[in-house]
Amino acid sequence: MQHMHWYYLLPLISGLIGWIFNTILIIFLFKPHQPKKIVFFTFQGILPKKQQALANRLATIIAEQFPLNDIKAKISSPESVNAMLPAAESAIDDFLRKKLVEKMPMLSMFVSDRLINELKNIFIDEIKILFPVLINKYADNILNKEALKSVIHNYLNNITAQQIEIYIKKNTPILKIIQWWGLVSGLLIGVVQLCLILLS
């Protein structure tokens, strides 16, 4: 019985090499998490090494694309202000009926439901004007691109490569796909090589 020529194993060998190569690539994508010095060389995972630069880049992109003006317009809109009015009205009512009289007992003889309602209406009318101004001023101080970029950058920079690795492995098949793609592409290359050998 004639022995099988070794080159018939080329697809299997190439597929195995592709799978191993991509597996090693995935390992070095995340590990080592901290820089490790071996002789004269320092090694660190690609993602941990580039994390600060990636965090800065992503934070810049997100901050640039984030609809800050739409959010400011939404939170200062009449609908949003009207949604806050019941709480403001309740606080004003409590102040006029209880706290004001507690602080100034002499006013109790002048305070009536009619007076309280009139004062409440005056305060509410002023609040309707004042709230959007205050909200916009506060939003301008808080909701700006630099502040948003700083928050996002700090958040992304504080996520460890280990956390990212665990999350990706649990929630997406991308790493497995990369491994299997190495196997499939290796097999295809091996088949092409085998065909070239057989045709030569």
| Tens digit of pLDDT at every position of the chain (200 positions) | 444 577 788 889 999 999 999 999 888 888 887 888 887 788 888 888 888 888 899 889 988 888 888 888 888 888 888 888 889 889 988 888 888 778 887 777 777 788 888 888 899 888 888 888 888 888 887 778 888 888 888 888 888 878 888 888 887 788 888 889 999 999 999 898 888 888 87
The reply to whether 41 falls in a domain is no
For the whole model, what pTM was predicted? 0.58
123 and 92 Cβ atoms separated by less than 8 Å: yes
Spell out the residues 6+ positions from residue 47 whose beta carbon is closer than 8 angstroms to its own: 29, 30, 54, 161, 164
* Residue range(s) defining the domain that contains residue 94: 68-152
Asked if the structure places residue 125 within a domain, the reply is yes
Count of structural domains within the chain:
1
Asked whether residue 126 is domain-assigned, the answer is yes
Report if residue 139 sits inside a domain. Answer: yes
Determine, yes or no, domain membership for 174.
no
> Is there a domain that residue 171 lies in?
no
Cα–Cα distance between 146 and 29 in angstroms, integer?
30
